[in-house]
Amino acid sequence: MKAAAVAWAALALAADSGSWKPEVDPSGLRRTEVAGEARLGETRTPARLALQCRPGVKGALVWSLQVEHAAKLDGFRFDDFEGPDAVALEQALSELSIEGGLMQPKVKARQSGFFHGDQADSFVFEVAAEAGAGSDASLLADAIGPTTTAITWTVTSARDVKQHILARFPAQGAAEAVRRTMSGCGPAPELGDELAAAWQGKDPAIVLDQRAVDWRLQALLGRDYDAFRAALAKAEPIGTSGSMLYLMGRGEDGSAAAWYVDRKGGLGEAVLIRHRKPERFIDEDAPRLVAPIEVREFIAKAMAG
């Protein structure tokens, strides 16, 4: 094995522990990241790759590459990538690719950049897309599977096409973390009339783990997803009302939950009731929905005890 290959293999083993853990912050921002290494020629420095999803009508999907101790990569002009007036802003100088597995897409993309606010010697490149859009950024994320071995990000200098920063990251354990992080980002899984008709009158347990439902609920509920699932323990049959599909149920601890989604527009809202107090989960930037009468009556009864 060549020295470079040995170094990459050692990096993968070292970085794999504790990596790719999906997190959701109080605002609903979904994120996962992994440690790796960036190099310019023979010079190497630590790096981090992150995937971030902020669901919603005005949300965004962002891949970011943080190059630590950027000054070590002497000769690369990071200033060309910094800020809204950057020389390289409109140039597709980033290439992200996947190693291993059946799908190995290579994505050429424009990038933005900035010096890290908390770590002045680190520089961050970002490739972004609208949250709900089909994009190269979402294509890359969706292609990561159990057999993916690594993700690479190459940044070409804006001044010298022969000068590249190459960053590589281990992908062991990435598939499930990326899948959970992508809830609410990329094209929405179809929730059509045939599915709704097949589900009507059935136990919600048969659909909660299906991607068309799970993708929407995780994005909408954020950190409260598990509590919401628990509140559906004693669930009522799945119902429909016009273009609306809805789930309702009560938990073992006296909590209650309801979710309703408009299949035509793809928008949904949820209510979680704990100690008779309702908490609504909505996209603040989306039009409000009118809950089906069955849902409104269920919520009123749950609040009354």
| pLDDT tens column, 165-196 | 999 999 999 999 999 999 999 999 999 888 88
Largest CA distance in the chain: 70
pLDDT value of position 6: 34
pLDDT in tens, 27-63: 999 999 999 999 999 999 999 999 999 999 999 999 9
For residue 11, the model assigns a pLDDT of 40
Average pLDDT, stretch 130-144? 95
Q: What percent of the chain has pLDDT over 70?
A: 94
Structure confidence at residue 7 (pLDDT): 37
Q: What is the pLDDT of residue 102?
A: 77
pTM as predicted:
0.89
3-state SS assignment for residue 45: strand
CA pair distance 223, 260, nearest whole angstrom: 19
Average predicted confidence (pLDDT) for the chain:
91
Q: How far is CA 177 from CA 64, 71, 172, 222, 226, in A?
A: 16, 31, 10, 15, 16
* One-letter identity of residue 110: R
From residue 170, alpha-carbon distances to 10, 30, 178, 183 in Å are 10, 20, 13, 22
Q: Outline where 182-243 has alpha helix (H).
A: 193-199, 211-221, 225-230
271-280 residue pLDDT tens: 999 999 999 9
C-alpha distances in Å from residue 304, one per residue of 51, 234, 271, 273, 298: 42, 18, 15, 11, 10
What's the pLDDT at 265? 86
- Cβ 5 vs Cβ 30: under 8 Å: no
Evaluate if residue 75 carries a pLDDT over 70: yes
DSSP 72: G
What's the Cα-to-Cα distance from 87 to each of 84, 125, 259, 280, rounded to whole Å? 9, 14, 47, 44
64 pLDDT above the threshold of 90: yes
State the average pLDDT over residues 218-245: 96
Q: How confident is the model at residue 96 (pLDDT cuts 50, 70, 90)?
A: very high
Separation between Cα atoms, residue 19 and residue 126, nearest integer Å = 20
Which tokens hold the place of 292?
Answer: 């089906």
